[in-house]
Structure 1
Amino acid sequence: MRQRILTKIAGYFFRGLLFVAPIAFTLLVIQAVFNWLDGLLPVNIPGLGIVILVSAIIGIGYLGSTYFMKPFFEMFEQIITKIPLLSLIYNSIKDLVGAFVGDKKKFNEPVMVQFDESGKIFKPGFITQSDLSKVELDGYCSVYMPHSYNFSGNIIVVKNDLVRPWDVNSTNAMKFIVSGGVSGFEDM
């Protein structure tokens, strides 16, 4: 009898933990990001630093889109690309941010890559370059394969005939991969 009660209590605890842990972790991450962003500007009013930062980013984005300021932004980028280490860092971050936002989004072409000769094992990923002939790899493409439960992944170069399109929404494909195959297709 006592064992059954303890087993039920443990079951309730783990069920509650399954509900509370993701919410608590999400709130902690949001709070940490909020505090970090708010602390970038030395303003003593909570939240005002973020408002100023977001406003400044929107303003810079607007200026960068205007016909008059575009040449200045391009000149700034040309100067940065001539400085060796700074160029590497700047271009890497620009490409990473551009992969998720902007006009040239990447990770919008989900695919399955065949990993065995019999065609029974596939790994999901996203085409990042569909043609590698410029680097003397005719018939090859590059595929980014995100890791599950992580903000990292691998880039592989693979023959085109081992890659097949995956007819799913790219957002659902990313959720599926990052969650370890647990979520991503609930609304289908």
Structure 2
Amino acid sequence: MRKYIITGLLVWLPLAITIWVLLWVLGIIDGVFVWLLSAVQAVLPDSARASIRELHNIPGLGVLVLVAALMLTGMFVANMFGQWWFRQWDRLLFKIPIVKSIYSSVKQVSDTLFSSSGNAFREAVLVPYPHPQSWTIAFVTGKPAGEVGDQLATLSGAASEEHVSLYVPTTPNPTSGFFLMMPRSQLRPLAMSVDEALKYIISMGVVAPASDALSAHPAKQPAAAESARN
């Protein structure tokens, strides 16, 4: 009985947690939507408040409105007129003392992570951390630039060696971690994708990538494996 109960638990637990997380996110979005409707309702005449009040009882309407708002915003900013207004909006927020620090930091991170032309979180590697005898998974986020890049280039024996910026996530919460800058020669490239590496980290090594990961990502195969195949 214990074996069957545990087996049934392993079947239903991932589905239950997934549904719980989705309902939690849906509740947050609907809560914000209801707050916006209440704010709009306060400035409308009494004749229009009844129709606005009926929108409160439609489940999932906040998600649909959010998706539509994101699509309309993207379509607006994609043209020259929208880009001009977006630059004016940036200038306005950058002039507000406290908002400027928060907005600029979040904007730089989001532009780096979600930009289609960026290299952040495009490659998973093995790094010797926290000491040379232990290894962990990290993600390449770019290359050191500016004063930091110049200082790394002047290190003894590292004038011609390429350095990369790395993010080492913690487990089981990968949203916190460590920022490292290391020579690329000390890294071990991995054939697994970023999604597979994140699953491996979040599961604390329980959910290992498939054994055919090398064949699924031939561009990342190490040179040794290529020579052995030949």
Distance, in Å, in 2 between the alignment partners of 1:59 and 1:141 is 37
Tell me the TM-score normalized by structure 1.
0.81
Distance, in Å, in 1 between the alignment partners of 2:104 and 2:203 is 29
Distance, in Å, in 1 between the alignment partners of 2:113 and 2:14 is 24
Higher-helix-fraction structure: 2
Tell me the TM-score normalized by structure 2.
0.67
Decide which of 15, 29, 34 is 2:26's aligned counterpart. 34
Decide which of 55, 62, 80 is 2:93's aligned counterpart. 80
Other-structure match for 1:163 = 187
Q: Which runs of 5+ in 2 are unaligned?
A: 35-54, 214-230
1:123 paired with 2:132, answer: no
The structure with the largest alpha-carbon Rg is 2
**Identity rate, percent:** 29
State how 1:65-144 maps to structure 2 within 5 Å.
Answer: 65-103=78-116, 104=118, 106-115=120-129, 116-117=131-132, 121-132=134-145, 134-135=147-148, 136-138=151-153, 139=158, 140-144=163-167
The two structures, once aligned, show a CA RMSD in angstroms of 2.3
Letter in 2 for 1:112: L
Distance, in Å, in 2 between the alignment partners of 1:131 and 1:97 is 18
CA contact (8 A) 1:132 1:142 kept: no
Give the length in aligned residue pairs: 178
Kindly report structure 1 stretches of 4+ aligned residues shifted beyond 4 Å: none
CA contact (8 A) 1:98 1:105 kept: no
Q: Which runs of 5+ in 1 are unaligned?
A: 1-8
Other-structure match for 1:57 = 70
**Cα displacement (A) at 1:74:** 1.4
